[in-house]
Amino acid sequence: MASILHVGIVLENNDNKQQKIVQMFDEIAGTYDTANRVLSMGIDIQWRKTACDETFARYTKPITLIVDVACGTGDMMGYWAKQAKKAGRQIGKILGVDPSVGMTDVGKQKFPAFEFVISEATQIPLPNESADILSISYGIRNVVRRGEAFSEFARVVKQGGYVVILEFTKDEKKGFFFTIKDFYLNKVLPILGGIISKNRAAYEYLPTSIEGFLTASMLQKELDVAGFETEFVKSFSMDISTLVIAKKR
């Protein structure tokens, strides 16, 4: 369920949060990629490329498996493959994991060479220490049991491997750029997202989800508890997006 402008719905209680999120993504899967590119104005492409390049610069061992969790329609998987080719790196396999059948069905059409499995971030169907790199792009905010997911990431990733997170984090401090971002997220995005997807309610949850999420420093602390040491942090475009690359200890 990955997205540069990750959408959501009003959630009723903790028990059905994840189910409702998955259902929503199934419903908007057909317009998802179009809405993504329009709402982000394409700037997420460079963010994703940077995430791949910075990771490849750090992980120099042979890469047998890259796992993209909350993979959605497979965008990040495509950039892993593209940037690996540019860097002259060989990847044995790229696997997408997502609980939304609708989103992965679109992904399979876009990337028939990749493998997709239906699964939650807390129950990745892989053996212990099998992945060299695990990424999750604009999806960790919508994982209800985040602590369990981070523990699962630590189980799946090899010692010395990396977790790569791209996400909208809560602002550490407010200022002029915060005001601009806040106006776009609260006023402009729901209208545009609603027009493209015909589901405005789905795009009205984003500002709330960001405000209710973590700051970049809080995110790093949670990764540290799970067994990862942050090696690289970068904010993009007036702190709209944050990249965190952490190595498994």
**Residues contributing to the annotated binding site:** 73, 98, 137
Please report, for residues 117, 194, 195, 198, 243, the alpha-carbon distance to residue 202 in angstroms, rounded to integers and kept in the order given: 24, 8, 11, 9, 25
Query: What confidence score (pLDDT) does residue 192 get?
Result: 75
Q: How confident is the model at residue 9 (pLDDT cuts 50, 70, 90)?
A: very low
Query: What confidence score (pLDDT) does residue 6 get?
Result: 45
Query: What confidence score (pLDDT) does residue 7 get?
Result: 43
- Is residue 196 over pLDDT 90? no
pLDDT higher at 245 or 14: 245
Handedness of CA 77, 117, 72, 168 (dihedral sign): negative
Q: How confident is the model at residue 15 (pLDDT cuts 50, 70, 90)?
A: low
Q: How confident is the model at residue 64 (pLDDT cuts 50, 70, 90)?
A: very high
Q: How far apart, in whole angstroms, are the C-alpha atoms of residue 166 and residue 221? A: 16
Query: What confidence score (pLDDT) does residue 113 get?
Result: 92
Question: Residue 212: what residue type?
Answer: G
**Residues contributing to the annotated binding site for S-adenosyl-L-methionine:** 73, 98, 137
Average pLDDT for 58-80 = 97
Query: What confidence score (pLDDT) does residue 13 get?
Result: 57
Q: Is 32 helix (H, G, I), strand (E, B) or coil?
A: helix
Architecture of domain 17-248: 3-Layer(aba) Sandwich (3.40)
Query: What confidence score (pLDDT) does residue 4 get?
Result: 45
- Is residue 10 over pLDDT 70? no
